[in-house]
Amino acid sequence: MSERAGVLGMTVRASDADRDQVIEQLRAAIADGRLDPAEFDERVDAALTARTLDALTPLVTDLVVRPGSGAALTPPSAGPPAELLTIKERHGSVRRDGAWELPRRLELRTKWSDVLLDLSTAVYSLPELVIDLRVQGGDVELVLAPGMMVDANGLSARHSTLSISRGTTDHAPRTLHVHLIGRIRHAHLDTRWHSPTP
């Protein structure tokens, strides 16, 4: 009993990655209605200032992310892809690149912002990615690798420019099908293909 209490009583410092992961879970929760805006703002503020995992855990324990999971905080690579990632920005910039993990569905909610989503070196295990856009103003750039396909038939554009080109190598094996849905207004969306290393 005393040994268990001693283990539970240990204070583990939270890393930036821990805080970022909790904030992503909170964004997913407000997107599907499990949190209202006031609760979301309060919890995000608490997450940004949390110094320990003990301070972070209560912020997400009542938000069931994966049924049967006993831990609120789990490493991003320990398990299946996230169901949903929501990115929100106003009058700013968003950049996702490197070996970031792709969810099943990505929601982009931006106003007058510049967005770069580099999928060319992202980590993914599913053959499809749905990107649901609600974009007003600004630029959205998708960086793709050979073998990735883009389908924008479900995307509504008004007073906007879509520049979606074909892949650099049409004969590359199909690796990821990116479905663009939703709407963009007064914005520009462009695709850029990452050239393979010779």
Task: Classify residue 33 as left (phi > 0), alpha (psi -120 to 50) or beta.
Answer: left
Give 2-38 pLDDT, tens digit per residue: 333 333 445 678 788 788 888 888 887 777 777 888 8
H helices of the chain, in order, are 2-8, 16-31, 37-49, 53-56
Give 44-88 pLDDT, tens digit per residue: 889 889 888 888 888 887 774 433 333 334 434 445 668 899 999
Mean pLDDT, the chain, rounded, equals 80
Report the range of poorest mean pLDDT among 43-57, 105-119, 127-141, 150-164.
43-57
Between the alpha carbon of residue 95 and those of residues 98, 102, 142, 154, 175, the distances in Å are: 10, 14, 10, 24, 22
Residues 101, 103: Cα–Cα separation, whole Å = 7
Confidence of residue 198 (pLDDT cuts 50, 70, 90): very low
